A and B are shown apart, each in its own frame.
Chain A
Amino acid sequence: MQPELHERARVLLDRGMMESIPAEKQRWLDHHLSECAECSRHAELNRRAIQALDSFAFDLDPAAALRVQEAVTRRAERMRSSEPLAVPLALALTIAGSFVMWQAVTWLAGQWNLPNRAWQFGFVVFWILPSVLIDMLLLFRGRLRYDS
Chain B
Amino acid sequence: MVAVVMAFSRLAETESQCIARALRRKDSEFIGRLVSQFHYRLLRYLVYLTSRREQAEDLVQETWMRVLERAGQYNGRSRFEPWLFSIARNLAIDHLRRGQKIGLNTHDAEALLEVPAPDGHSPFAAAAKSEDAVRVAGALAALEPIYREALLLRFQEELSLDEIAQVVGAPVSTISSRIHRGLAIMRSRLEGGGGAA
With beta carbons under 8 angstroms apart, the residue of A48, A54, A60, A145 that contacts B190 is A48
> How far does the alpha carbon of A2 sit from the alpha carbon of B32 in the complex, in Å?
58
A73: chain B residues within 8 A (beta carbon)? 28-29, 31-32, 35
A45: chain B residues within 8 A (beta carbon)? 186-187, 190-191
Interface of B is mostly: helix
> How far does the alpha carbon of A132 sit from the alpha carbon of B64 in the complex, in Å?
33
- B residues 12-29 touching A (CB-CB < 8 Å): 25-29
Query: A68-B39, A146-B73 in contact; A76/B68 too (CB < 8 A)?
Result: yes
B155: chain A residues within 8 A (beta carbon)? 17, 50, 53-54
Query: A17-B183, A51-B132, A75-B68 in contact; A147/B40 too (CB < 8 A)?
Result: no
Q: How many A-B residue pairs have CB under 8 A?
A: 145
A42: chain B residues within 8 A (beta carbon)? 187
**Interface size, B (range):** 35 or more
| B156 is an interface residue with CB less than 8 A from chain A | yes
Interface size on A, residues (CB 8 A): 44
Q: Mark B59-89, 1 if CB is under 8 A from A, else 0.
A: 0110011001011111100000001001100
> How far does the alpha carbon of A64 sit from the alpha carbon of B56 in the complex, in Å?
12
| A14 is an interface residue with CB less than 8 A from chain B | yes
In the assembled complex, how far is the CB of residue A2 from the closest CB belonging to chain B, in whole angstroms? Answer: 22
> How far does the alpha carbon of A18 sit from the alpha carbon of B164 in the complex, in Å?
11
In the assembled complex, how far is the CB of residue B89 from the closest CB belonging to chain A, in whole angstroms? Answer: 9
| A118 is an interface residue with CB less than 8 A from chain B | no
> How far does the alpha carbon of A17 sit from the alpha carbon of B176 in the complex, in Å?
10
B70: chain A residues within 8 A (beta carbon)? 142, 147
In the assembled complex, how far is the CB of residue A42 from the closest CB belonging to chain B, in whole angstroms? Answer: 7
> How far does the alpha carbon of A48 sit from the alpha carbon of B71 in the complex, in Å?
39
In the assembled complex, how far is the CB of residue B170 from the closest CB belonging to chain A, in whole angstroms? Answer: 11
> How far does the alpha carbon of A17 sit from the alpha carbon of B35 in the complex, in Å?
30
- 22 interchain pairs, CB-CB under 8 A: A17-B155, A18-B161, A49-B132, A49-B190, A50-B155, A52-B135, A53-B156, A56-B133, A57-B129, A59-B126, A68-B64, A69-B32, A72-B31, A72-B35, A73-B32, A76-B28, A76-B68, A79-B68, A140-B72, A146-B74, A147-B83, A148-B90
| A80 is an interface residue with CB less than 8 A from chain B | yes
| B92 is an interface residue with CB less than 8 A from chain A | no
A48: chain B residues within 8 A (beta carbon)? 132, 190
B65: chain A residues within 8 A (beta carbon)? 72, 75
Besides A45-B187, A55-B132, 12 new A-B residue pairs in contact (Cβ under 8 A), listed by A number:
A14-B180, A45-B190, A46-B183, A56-B44, A56-B137, A58-B43, A58-B127, A71-B61, A72-B68, A75-B65, A80-B27, A142-B70
